[in-house]
C-alpha cells in the first residue's frame, strides 16, 4: 500500500507544519511517499511559494463521521500537493503513461490512507468524497450532470420515502402501502437506499465505485445529515448574535479586536 518517509534523511516520516492563518499550513520539512505502483517517489516540498495545505477538507457538517485530522493527515497533505500543478516532485505521468491528473491523485490518496492504517471504510469514503470534487472540476457537462443527478435523485427519493413511511403520501412502491407494518417499510427503505444508488452510479462510468459509496451513504445518512444541518444553522445564528459577525476565515472580529485593544492597554468597550 505504499509508505511515507522522511525525504531529507530517509527515516520515518516527520510531518512538521507551520500555521499561516489557522486554516492553511505550510510544511517545515518536506515529506515523501513511495507508492507500490511507481518506481519514482512523490515528494512534497517545504516551500511556501509552491505549496500550502488546508489539511483534510471536510465540510463542517460531516466532521462527526470524518474528522479533519487523524492518522490519514499525511495522505491529505500529499493529496493537496498532487492535485496542484507544480506543487510536488515526482512522476509526471500515471501508471498508464497518461499525464498525471486528479483521478490518479485521488487513487494515491486512498492507497496512502490505507498504508497509514486508516480504516478501509473511512479511506474509501474519503476517496469517494474527493472524487466528487474531481468530477466537478472536470468541467464536462455530462460528468457534472450525472453527479448532480445521482445526488439530487437520492435526496428527493429519500424525502419521499420518509413521508411514505409516516403515511403522509403513498407514492414510493418499495415502501409498501398504508397498511404495511413499520418494520417492512424500514426493510423496503433500506433496500431502496442500496439498490437505487447502485443502479444510478452506473452512469458515472469509471467513477461508478465512488457513486455507489456516496449514493448509499447519502441515502442511509440523509436524516442524520438533515438533523445536523438544522443544528448547525441554529448554532451559527446563536453564535452570530452572541459573538458578532465573522470574517471570511471564520474569525469573530469583534472579540479579536477587543482582545487586541486589551493587550495594548486600551480601555475595553462596554455595551
Cβ contact 29:11 at 8 Å: no
The C-alpha cell at 201 is: 452510479
* Sequence-ordered list of residues with C-beta below 8 angstroms from that of 133, at least 6 positions apart, any chain: 102
- Tell me the HSE value of 245 on the side-chain side, using a 13 A CA sphere: 2
User: What does the pLDDT profile of the chain (271 residues) look like in tens digits?
Assistant: 789 999 988 899 999 999 887 788 999 999 999 999 999 999 999 887 778 898 888 777 778 778 778 899 999 999 999 999 889 999 989 888 899 999 999 999 999 999 999 999 999 999 999 999 999 999 999 999 999 999 999 999 999 999 999 999 999 999 998 899 999 999 999 999 999 999 999 999 999 999 999 999 999 999 888 888 899 999 989 988 888 887 776 777 777 777 777 777 666 555 5
Asked whether 175 and 240 are in contact (CB, 8 A), the reply is: no
Residue 141: how many other CB atoms lie within 10 Å: 8
> Would you put residue 117 in left (φ > 0), alpha (ψ -120 to 50) or beta?
left
* pLDDT at residue 118, as a whole number: 93
Rounded Cα distance, 103 and 109, in Å: 10
Long-range contacts of 80-85 (CB under 8 A, 24+ apart): 80/51, 80/53, 80/54, 80/55, 81/42, 81/44, 81/51, 81/53, 82/42, 82/108, 82/109, 84/51
Please tell me the predicted confidence (pLDDT) of residue 247.
76
Neighbours of 197 (CB within 10 A): 24
Q: Which helix (H) or strand (E) holds 200?
A: helix 182-200
DSSP 206: G
SS3 225: helix
Q: Model pTM? A: 0.86
C-alpha–C-alpha distance, residues 106 and 117, integer Å: 17
In which residue are the cell numbers 443544528 written? 231
Residue 33: enclosing H or E segment and its boundaries? strand 31-34
Amino acid at each position: 500500500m505504499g509508505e511515507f518517509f522522511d525525504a531529507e534523511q530517509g527515516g520515518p516520516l516527520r510531518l512538521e507544519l507551520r500555521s499561516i492563518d489557522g486554516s492553511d499550513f505550510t510544511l517545515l520539512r518536506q515529506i515523501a511517499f513511495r507508492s507500490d505502483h511507481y518506481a519514482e517517489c512523490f515528494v512534497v516540498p517545504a516551500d511556501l511559494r509552491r505549496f500550502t495545505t488546508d489539511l483534510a477538507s471536510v465540510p463542517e457538517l460531516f466532521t462527526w463521521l470524518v474528522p479533519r485530522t487523524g492518522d490519514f493527515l499525511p495522505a491529505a497533505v500529499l493529496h493537496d500537493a498532487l492535485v496542484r500543478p507544480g506543487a510536488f516532485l515526482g512522476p509526471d505521468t500515471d501508471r498508464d503513461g497518461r499525464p498525471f491528473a486528479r483521478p490518479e491523485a485521488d487513487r494515491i490518496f486512498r492507497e496512502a490512507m490505507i498504508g497509514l492504517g486508516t480504516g478501509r471504510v473511512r479511506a474509501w469514503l474519503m476517496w469517494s468524497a474527493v472524487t466528487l470534487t474531481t468530477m466537478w472540476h472536470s468541467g464536462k457537462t455530462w460528468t457534472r450532470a450525472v453527479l448532480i443527478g445521482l445526488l439530487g435523485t437520492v435526496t428527493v427519493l429519500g424525502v419521499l420515502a420518509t413521508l411514505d413511511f409516516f403515511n403522509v403520501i403513498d407514492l414510493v412502491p418499495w415502501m409498501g402501502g398504508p397498511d404495511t407494518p413499520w418494520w417492512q417499510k424500514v426493510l423496503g427503505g433500506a433496500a431502496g437506499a442500496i439498490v437505487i444508488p447502485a443502479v444510478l452510479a452506473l452512469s458515472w462510468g469509471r467513477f461508478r465505485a465512488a457513486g455507489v459509496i456516496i449514493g448509499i451513504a447519502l441515502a442511509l445518512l440523509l436524516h442524520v445529515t438533515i438533523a445536523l444541518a438544522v443544528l448547525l444553522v441554529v448554532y451559527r445564528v446563536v453564535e452570530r448574535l452572541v459573538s458578532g459577525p465573522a470574517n471570511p476565515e471564520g474569525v469573530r472580529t469583534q472579540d479579536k479586536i477587543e482582545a487586541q485593544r486589551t493587550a495594548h492597554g486600551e480601555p475595553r468597550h462596554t455595551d
